[in-house]
Amino acid sequence: MAVIREAVRVTRKPLVAGNWKMHGSRDFVAAHLQALEAPLSELAIDIAVFPPAVYLDLAARQLAGLPVAIGAQDLSLEEDSGAFTGEVSGAMLKDVGCSLVLVGHSERRTIYGESNETVAKKFVAACSAGLTPVLCVGETLEQREAGETQQVVSAQLQAVAAVAGLDRLTASIIAYEPVWAIGTGKTATPDQAQEVHQGIRHWLGAEGAKTRILYGGSVKAANARELFSRPDIDGGLIGGAALVPEEFSAICRLADQQ
Ligand code: PEP
């Protein structure tokens, strides 16, 4: 069992990613990243932070030389540049040092009305810019209670696979984030999360064995160990707890200990 776990760990290195959402300031970026420097530099897992777009350049400069990747929270589905007021392209994100980008976070889907089709276009735009998309999928409480979780998640995956191709989907990172668990303090139980992660991997087919699938939704140091111990959970996408350096580094340490 330990040998299998070790082999899986090599192909699917754990990743802990902090989504700062619309939080922070120049001072916050400086202080927060400085506080993370020492605790995170000794860990063997992959770590990433997703600051607001205006602070990406600052964060990338501060993290230069450290094993922490930078990701953006969203990108334009349009081309590299052009008359698209207010938009930020994948090429621009790449230019300031991003290697990752969130696509289809539930707040983009619910507050800003991003459909599965829009999310799929953004996914393709990310790949075209040389960024690795972190595709967020997940069901609402009503959908879970109606027994539609797997169906909803499959439709979200299918919309992307139809436009981007299954190869690009399996080469990306997927974050299962039940909408009812995001920012609510309610976490999916490890069994609930494992069941959906396993369903996603099954949906992806043979190549899905290599795809990293993160869990997100009120993860904190107090519940991370149990979640990360499940075989199909390869790390976490962390919101609120990523704003507290001690909490974020504790979650990273727990992922590293698996
Ligand atoms: C998120 O925003 O992706 C998230 C998981 O938030 P929280 O951890 O606060 O639920």
- What confidence tens digit (pLDDT) does each residue in 65-81 have? 888 999 999 999 988 89
Cα 172 from chain centre: 10
Sequence-distant (6+) residues with CB within 8 A of 190 are 226, 227, 229, 230, 233
C-beta of residue 74 within 8 angstroms of C-beta of residue 134: no
Classify the phi-psi angles of 27: left when phi > 0, otherwise alpha if psi is within -120 to 50, otherwise beta. alpha
**Whole-number Cα distances in Å, 38 to 43, 155, 161:** 10, 41, 39
Output the CA 38–ligand 1 centroid distance in Å. 24
User: What's the mean pLDDT when you consider all of the chain?
Assistant: 94
Does residue 21 surpass a pLDDT of 60? yes
Give yes or no for residue 138 CB within 6 A of ligand 1.
no
State whether residue 256 is helix, strand or coil.
Answer: helix
Q: Which domain holds residue 75?
A: 2-256
What is the number of structural domains in the chain? Answer: 1
Q: How far apart are CA 62 and CA 254, in angstroms?
A: 25
Q: How far is the CA of 3 from the centre of ligand 1 (A)?
A: 32
pLDDT band at 167, cuts 50/70/90?
very high
In this model, does residue 7 exceed pLDDT 60? no
State whether the beta carbon of 219 lies less than 6 angstroms from ligand 1. yes
pLDDT tens-place string over residues 92-151? 999 999 999 999 999 999 999 999 999 999 999 999 999 999 999 999 999 999 999 999
Indicate whether this model's pTM tops 0.85: yes
Give the Cα separation of 234 and 5 in Å (integer): 11
Active site residue 197: no
Tell me which residue has its CA closest to atom 3 in ligand 1.
Answer: 239
Q: Is the predicted pLDDT of residue 23 greater than 60, yes or no?
A: yes
Residue 74, domain CATH = 3.20.20.70
Angle between helices 221-228 and 190-204 (to 10 degrees): 50
pLDDT tens for each residue of 190-204: 999 999 999 999 999
Distance 243 CA to ligand 1 centre (A): 11
Residue 227 amino acid letter: L
